[in-house]
Amino acid sequence: MAYHNDDAVLDIHDRPGFGQWVGLSIQHLFAMFGSTVLVPILVGLDPSIALFSSGVGTLIYILITRGKIPAYMGSSFSFIVVMTSLMKTAGYPAIAQGTVAVGLVYLIVALIVNFAGSAWIDKALPPIVVGPIVMVIGLSLAGTAATDATMRAVSATKSVYDIKYFIVAMVTLAATIIYNMYLKKFISLLPILLGLITGYIVAIFAGIVDFTPVVKAAWFSLPNFQIPFLTYQPKLYLGAILSMAPIAFVTMTEHMGHIMVLNEMTHRNFFKDPGLNHTLAGDGTASIIAGFVGGPPITSYGENIGVMAMTKVHSVYVLGGAAFFAILFAFIGKLSALIHTIPSPVIGGISFLLFGVIASNGLKVLIDNKVDFNKKRNLMIGSTILVIGIGNAQLQVAGMTFSGLAIATVIGILMNFILPQNAANEEAPVDAKHN
């Protein structure tokens, strides 16, 4: 007889009634909505495609994991730096190839895990590598957030400082912080969405929102899918592939962290059943599909895990319902147009907190794992990753550009394997001397 977690209101394979299903699924949709649409807004992609990708990706993930893991897949923040750079230099086709490459890395690792286990992943990505890389992802975007929050575009090539923009950004930031700190129960899981709404309302009163696109938009319309050979002729963007693919190893650690939380919450071991190979394959396939339709890379979402922890509703049918509604919302033209009218200072205000939280999570990795920076090895690895990544020390070879984040990731992994545990002028720990 299959295990049933009686502590849950709805366990993984429990089916809710129709009305309950609709309400619980839309609740999950709201939890992921703010973050999932914010990624394409920051990069310059179509938010409706990101919604569509997250919905389809979630259904694919549930299928590949045999309906055993209640997880929702949404737009990944880890690739924003590289995607923003690629959008400016090569456009979406380059991002598409990078996104597909990320998915393929997941599938390759899933295949290796299937035959060799997963212990090698921990060796390649210890906390001293993962922590600084996550910090780079957040801190390297600080300038973008500041520009969005202060500068108003007056032409295609010129921007000017606008005090109204700064005020709107600060109000948005303050509101998001307040929602994070003082709200309770389910609504406390929606600080990004509520912050966006608050900032948007303030921006309306400040006179910096143009509703013309919403008025002109149809109620139902196809997202602006970017499909190779149909909407564009693809060519090889090796620089994009090599810039985005290494970062997949970083997001894998986040993926495995989410699985650990789900294990604890549902009283199961998903690393064994359906297996880490299946969870990685599901995540990777979701990103490949996103790449072929015009969306950003996909990853599991902590927001939705938070909803499950609070409501004790773990049903895959509810997560599948959220995916269905995400796909449906992607075809509502006025919603897509409304998202596009969100002004930059609102995005900037949210980004101040969001990018900082990403960086702080990298610091948290170091603290939680008690990484000792008195050891020269750790100091060398962390320092090199931070400066190369935040400074965006790009490598340009034969017409290809590799982002600082990608280079920092690769160098960090190599340094971890090459450097000895102790420098020549350092004493080994006392316990190591006796071994």
Residue 429 resides in a domain: no
As a whole-number percent, the residues of the chain with pLDDT over 90 amount to 36
> In the prediction, which pLDDT does 434 show?
43
- Measure the N-to-C terminal CA separation of the chain; round to a whole number of Å: 48
- The pLDDT profile of the chain, 435 residues, written as one tens digit per residue, is 578 888 888 899 999 889 889 888 887 887 787 778 888 988 989 989 999 999 999 999 999 999 999 999 999 888 988 898 899 888 889 999 999 999 999 999 999 999 888 777 778 778 898 889 888 878 887 888 898 899 887 766 687 888 999 999 999 999 989 988 898 876 776 777 788 889 999 999 999 998 898 898 899 988 889 998 888 888 889 989 988 998 898 888 778 878 878 888 888 889 889 999 999 999 999 999 999 999 999 988 877 787 787 778 899 999 999 999 999 989 988 988 887 788 889 888 888 887 888 788 888 889 989 999 999 999 999 999 999 989 888 887 766 667 788 888 889 989 999 998 888 887 766 555 444
CA dihedral 371, 373, 374, 379 (to 10 degrees): 130
Are 211 and 200 in contact by the 8 Å Cβ rule? The answer is no
Angle at 70 between CA 63 and CA 79, to 5 degrees: 85
Q: Which amino acid is at 27?
A: Q
> In the prediction, which pLDDT does 400 show?
67
255-to-22, 37, 189, 391, 418 alpha-carbon distances in Å: 27, 20, 20, 27, 26
Residue 9 resides in a domain: no
Write the burial class of residue 375 (CB in 10 Å: 0-12 exposed, 13-18 middle, 19+ buried): middle
Domain count, the chain: 1
Are 272 and 266 in contact by the 8 Å Cβ rule? The answer is no
Between CA 36 and CA 39 the distance in angstroms is 6
DSSP β-bridge partners for residue 415? none
Residue 376 resides in a domain: yes
Residue 199 resides in a domain: yes
Write out the residue range of the structural domain in which residue 388 sits: 18-116+129-419
Q: Is the pTM of this model over 0.85?
A: no
Between CA 230 and CA 121 the distance in angstroms is 38
Residue 432 resides in a domain: no
Between CA 172 and CA 259 the distance in angstroms is 32
Residue 44 resides in a domain: yes
Residue 2 resides in a domain: no
Residue 221 resides in a domain: yes
